[in-house]
Amino acid sequence: MLVARAGHPALDLPVTDALLRYPLILPNPGAIIRQSVDQYLAAMGLSDLTPVFETVALPAAQTLLEGSEMLWFISRGVVAREIARGSLAALDLKSDYMAGAVGLTRKFTFDEDSHADLLARLLHRRVEEDCARR
C-alpha cells in the first residue's frame, strides 16, 4: 500500500503525480516487500526516486507521516488498524501489481521439533479449521 496521513493533499491526486511531488518513505532494502515496491516504481518509470527515509517500523513512519507531507509504501497488515481508525489513508494504486502472498517467512531452516516449527504447524492447523467452518 501507499499511505499518507489523513487529509494529505496527495489523496486527491493521481498516484504518479503524488509520487513525483511528495517525499517517500520506502521499506528498507532488506524488507520482503522492497523488491515489489522497486518493481512497481520501475514499471511506472519512477525508479530514480530517492526515499528520504527507509523503514517498515510503524512507530517511526507514523511519526514522520503525521508531521509531514511524506508518503509510505508498506504492507497492508502493518497499517490496517491506523487506516480503520482514520489516522492514515491509502492512495489508490489502481493496480493489483503490489498484491502478494501472505504467510510465514523463515530466514533459515528450523528443526522439525523446534518452537518455530510448532508455531507454524499450529497456525496452519488453525487456518485449516477456520477455512473448514466457512
Q: Which cell numbers in the block locate residue 27? A: 521499506
* Cα–Cα distance for residue pair 83/59, rounded to 1 Å: 14
Domain boundaries, the chain: 2-91, 103-134
pLDDT 10s digits, 25-61: 999 998 889 999 999 999 889 999 999 999 999 999 9
State yes or no: pLDDT of 102 exceeds 70.
no
* Cα–Cα distance for residue pair 24/52, rounded to 1 Å: 6
Cα–Cα nearest to 80, from 97, 102, 95, 64: 102
Its pTM stands at 0.74
Cα–Cα nearest to 74, from 105, 19, 37, 39: 37
Q: What single DSSP character describes residue 25?
A: E
Q: What pLDDT does 91 receive?
A: 95
**Any idea which residue has 521439533 for its cell?**
113
Q: Does domain 2-91 have CATH number 3.10.100.10?
A: no
pLDDT 10s digits, 110-128: 666 778 778 888 888 887 8
